[in-house]
Structures are given as C-alpha cells and as structure tokens.
C-alpha cells in the first residue's frame, strides 16, 4: 500500500515545475545546447551515484571535464538520495540541478526565411509534449512555438521523454493567433491539422517556408486558428478509425512527410 502511494505521488509530481534533468541523455543534450549558445539554462550541480563511479567511469570523466569548462559542481551521493528527488527511475544514477529556462518571445526571434516551424497548442501532458518535440527535432524542424502556459517548466519530464531534444530545440513563446500573424507576415504558409474542410496530408503542397499548427487530442485547435489557416490538413487512416492520434504521433507523421517532400 505504501509503495503504491509513493508511486502515485511521483506520478503527480510530473506536473510540478522542476529544473532537474535526469539521466545522461538529457544532461548531455543540455551541455551540447549550452556550448552552442542556443539554450540559456545552466547546470548548477551534478548529483552522481557514488556506487557507480567505476561502472560509469566514462560518463564521470566527461562530466568532470565539462564541470571545469562550464563551472558546475559534481557531488557524490547515495542511490537513496537520488531516488528521493527523482521523478523517474531511468536516471542511471546521474541527476543535474539546473537553472530555469526562460523561453524568448517569438517577436524577438530571427527565424529562417525558408524554414519549418510548429505550434503545439493544448497539449495536456508533459510526456506527450516531450515525445512530440523528440520527433520534430529528429525530422529537422527549425523551431517550436508554445503558448505562454506550456510544459517547459516540467523540464525533467519533458527532457527525459524527448531524449534531450527539448533542450536542443529552439523554442519561442507566443499567443497562438499572434504567431500565425507573425509567420504570415514573413511569407510562410500556415497549415492546421484538422478534419473539416480538409485535404489529405499526402495531396497538398508542403514546400517551405511552412508553419504547422497541431492541437492536443482533447481540445484540438481553436476555431480562431482554423479560420486563419491557409489550409486544413488531415492524416488519412488505413482503417475506419473514429478516434484521433496523439499529438506526438501526429507530429511525427507531419514532420517526416515534410522532410520527405523537401529533401
């Protein structure tokens, strides 16, 4: 009973703001982003499982070298300490305490003239958000726009579910309708994922520059955004399925089809 309560508590904590990154994949991605000067987040301290010093000698050596370059501390702790502060169980004995990441406003962004950007609106779970960002980054999307209330505060969960891609991806904050205006003024085609009055993803022009709007599974995309879109695009199913795909699945399908068309 007690272990079940602890599990439920940890599950609830995924919705709480946290600037801890768990696991080497997330931490390595952040280090790469810091060195590329694309992410303002900084590492304050690495907590390293003292019992894993030998089995993770390579990781420890890498982190010690980066600690000197990027000015952060490495503290050896017990596995019990890490278990208490972690949300997941895949940290591998390495957790980073970091500063928060303030996302810049889209109005201050210098976007590409011939790019692909996505707006993720209404995603209600940080894991789904992270999975979507992972696919978008892998497909070479240039940036992600999020509304003022977004999941980037739950950094640990988002970074872990995105395999670190959330720390590498360029992200900007903007009200959804304002973001459409921003991209249209810069010559971008604006497309929304939807069903009514839609054309198939595979029968429409997906050439760059392109701004794609994806909504969450529950709330979808607002009427105001749909009315602003140049086109509404649907994903054709292979069976008579009346449900909707998860945002992460839709993001992967859209992003890789765009990559294929523009390759």
Is 6 inside a domain boundary? no
Predicted pLDDT at 149: 79
| Domain match, 61 and 123 both | no
CATH number at residue 240: 3.40.1280.10
pLDDT value at residue 1: 52
Q: Average pLDDT in the 245-262 region?
A: 96
Whether residues 88 and 116 fall in one domain: no
Same domain, 197 and 255: yes
Mean local confidence (pLDDT), 132-152: 92
pLDDT band at 6 (very low <50, low <70, confident <90, very high): low
The Cα-based distances of 194 to 142, 176, 191, 236 in angstroms read: 22, 16, 9, 11
Q: Is residue 193 part of a domain?
A: yes
Instruction: Please check whether residues 161 and 88 belong to one and the same domain.
Output: no
Question: SS3 of 77, please?
Answer: strand
Instruction: Give the phi and the psi of residue 180 in degrees, each rounded to 5.
Output: -65, -45
pTM of the complete model beyond 0.85 = yes
Q: What is the pLDDT of residue 5?
A: 45
Residue 2: pLDDT band (50, 70, 90) is low
Q: Are residues 114 and 216 in the same domain?
A: yes
Give the pLDDT score at 218. 64
Residues 120 and 243 in one domain: yes
| Range scoring the smallest mean pLDDT among 8-12, 96-100, 117-121, 242-246 | 8-12
Q: Lowest-pLDDT range, 52-66, 105-119, 152-166, 227-241?
A: 152-166
What would the pLDDT profile of 37-83 be if each residue is shown by its tens digit? 999 999 999 999 999 999 999 999 999 999 999 999 999 999 999 99
Residue 166 in any domain: the answer is yes
* Percent of the chain residues past pLDDT 70, beyond the cut: 92
Residue where a domain terminates, one of 75, 98, 121: 98
**Is 83 in the same domain as 145?**
no
Domain count, the chain: 2
36 and 114 co-located in one domain: no
The parent domain of residue 90 ranges over 13-98
234 and 156 assigned to the same domain: yes
d(CA 66, CA 43): 10
Same domain (yes/no): 90, 127? no
Position 25 in a domain: yes
Task: Decide which of 45, 80, 98 is a domain's last residue.
Answer: 98
C-alpha–C-alpha distance, residues 257 and 142, integer Å: 15
Q: Which of 40, 71, 98 is the last residue of a domain?
A: 98
Q: Judge whether 2 lies within some domain.
A: no
Verify that 20 and 111 share a domain, yes or no: no
Res 262 pLDDT > 90 = yes
The answer as to whether 226 is a domain residue is yes
Least confident of 15-19, 44-48, 114-118: 15-19
Output the average pLDDT for the chain.
90
- Ramachandran area for residue 37 (φ above 0: left; ψ -120 to 50: alpha; else beta): left
Q: Where are the beta strands (DSSP E) in the chain?
A: 20-22, 43-49, 73-77, 94-98, 116-121, 143-146, 171-173, 189-193, 199-200, 210-215, 231-234
Q: What is the pLDDT of residues 158-208, one digit of tens each?
A: 998 999 999 999 999 999 999 999 999 999 999 999 888 899 999 999 999
Residue 224, domain member (yes or no): yes
CATH of the domain at 20: 3.30.1330
Say if residue 201 is in the same domain as residue 128: yes
Instruction: Give domain status of residue 1, yes or no.
Output: no
- Model confidence band, residue 17 (pLDDT cutoffs 50, 70, 90): low
């Amino acid at each position: 009973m007690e272990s079940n309560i602890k599990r439920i508590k940890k599950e609830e904590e995924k919705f709480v703001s946290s600037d801890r990154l768990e696991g080497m994949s997330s931490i390595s991605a952040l280090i790469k982003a810091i060195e590329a000067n694309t992410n303002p987040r900084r590492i304050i301290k690495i907590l390293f499982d003292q019992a894993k010093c030998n089995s993770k000698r390579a990781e420890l050596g890498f982190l010690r070298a980066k600690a000197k370059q990027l000015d952060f501390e490495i503290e050896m702790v017990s596995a019990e300490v890490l278990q208490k502060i972690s949300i997941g169980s895949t940290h591998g004995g390495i957790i980073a305490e970091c500063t928060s990441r303030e996302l810049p406003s889209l109005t201050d962004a210098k976007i590409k003239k011939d790019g692909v950007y996505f707006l993720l609106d209404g995603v209600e779970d940080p894991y789904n958000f992270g999975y979507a960002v992972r696919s978008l980054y892998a497909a070479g999307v240039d940036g992600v726009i999020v509304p003022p209330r977004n999941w980037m505060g739950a950094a640990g969960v988002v970074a872990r579910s995105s395999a670190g891609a959330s720390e590498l991806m360029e992200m900007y904050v903007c009200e959804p309708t304002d973001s459409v205006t921003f991209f249209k003024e810069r010559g971008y085609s604006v497309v929304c994922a939807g069903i009514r009055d839609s054309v198939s993803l595979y029968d429409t022009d997906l050439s760059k520059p392109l701004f794609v709007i994806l909504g969450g599974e529950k709330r979808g995309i607002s009427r105001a955004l749909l009315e602003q879109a140049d086109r509404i695009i649907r994903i054709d199913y292979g069976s008579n399925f009346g449900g909707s795909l998860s945002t992460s699945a839709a993001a992967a399908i859209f992003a890789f089809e765009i990559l294929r068309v523009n390759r």
